Chains A and B, each alone.
Chain A
Amino acid sequence: MTLHLFLIVSMILCSLGAVMARRTIHGAIFLALVSILLAAVMFSANAPWAGVFELSVCAGLITVLFASTASMVGRGASYSKNERGALKWLPAALVVFGVIIWAVGAHFMPVFTPARHPGALSAMSVGDIIWRIRPMDLLGQLCIFVAGVLAVRIILGEGKDE
């Protein structure tokens, strides 16, 4: 429980760091830390496949994409004055929101606490569920990949024409 509490608190602090860091490259590094901590929570919750994907894709690929964009854009990615003014209230707003949610959420917690009813799917492996139960999800995922690749090609291609 202590380790779990440490992971959760670190994750919230790193999330704050990701959006409030003065330079966006630091924000990208904080986001990678959030991904690593979330992967640790997934591993501790007995979800190793999701943890591995989170580590490799979110902490790896997405961080590289953010870091390369931030270094390419350079000073253009720094804060504007208005933005800094709005974001400096985020910790205070978070505390107020947290207190409200804690008070309200504790009252409604029994509603959000589901009964443990594993069902037939809990006996299957992740691979079986993906390939046998939800193959259409894979098709949709493939379509999104193709759409993403086409979008990147078209957007970058427009830049070359000009």
Chain B
Amino acid sequence: MNSLLLNYFAAVLMFFIGVYTMAASRNLIRLLLGLEVSSKGCMLAFVAAASATANMAFAQALLVIMISVEAVVVAVGLILIIRAWRQRGNVDAAKLSDLKG
């Protein structure tokens, strides 16, 4: 088993863990944790592909941007969660139905 296959396999599994959590969980913090895990899977796939094609410098430049965007997404998501918790006292996504038509 070569390391490229192993990296791809692990990346797919991590992406699955994140997507399953986002589908199954109603807790907003856990949804964000799932998003983070699937994002880590994407990064691992990115590193594996860059390593296989010997384009690591270019991949690093893109990974740095990806990481900083991810930090902003998490910060804004957590602020929204804190706001929802202040208003309602819980972080259950199913109970956030103010915009329901």
| Residue ranges of A at the interface with B (Cβ–Cβ < 8 Å) | 1, 4-5, 8, 11-12, 15-16, 18-19, 24, 27-28, 31, 34-35, 38, 41-42, 45-47, 49-50, 53-54, 57-58, 61-62, 65-66, 69-70, 72-73, 76-77, 79-80, 82-83, 86-87, 90, 93-94, 97-98, 101-102, 105-106, 109, 112-119, 121-122, 124-126, 129-130, 133-134, 137-138, 140-141, 144-145, 147-148, 151-152, 155-156, 158-159
Bound form: Cα–Cα A74–B44 in Å:
32
Number of interface residues of B (CB under 8 A): 71
A42 to B67, CA, bound (A): 13
A18 contacts B33, C-beta separation under 8 Å: yes
User: Given A69-B29, A76-B91, A113-B4, does the pair A101, B74 have CB atoms closer than 8 Å?
Assistant: no
Chain B at the A interface: mostly helix, strand, loop or mixed? helix
Name the B residues within 8 Å of A69 (CB-CB).
29, 78, 81-82
The residue from A19, A46, A76, A98 contacting B13, defined by CB atoms under 8 A apart: A98
B24 and A116 form a contact (CB under 8 A): no
Chain B residue numbers with a CB within 8 Å of A31 are 33, 36-37
CB neighbours (8 Å) of B63 from chain A are 42, 47, 49-50, 53-54
Give the chain A neighbours of B14 by CB distance below 8 A.
11-12, 15
Q: Inside 8 A of A144's CB, which chain B residues have their CB? A: 68-69, 72
Contact of A11 among B10, B20, B60, B72 (CB under 8 A): B10
Query: Which 9 residue pairs are nearest across A and B when measured between Cβ atoms?
Result: A86-B24, A148-B72, A50-B63, A19-B21, A118-B54, A129-B61, A8-B10, A50-B60, A121-B58
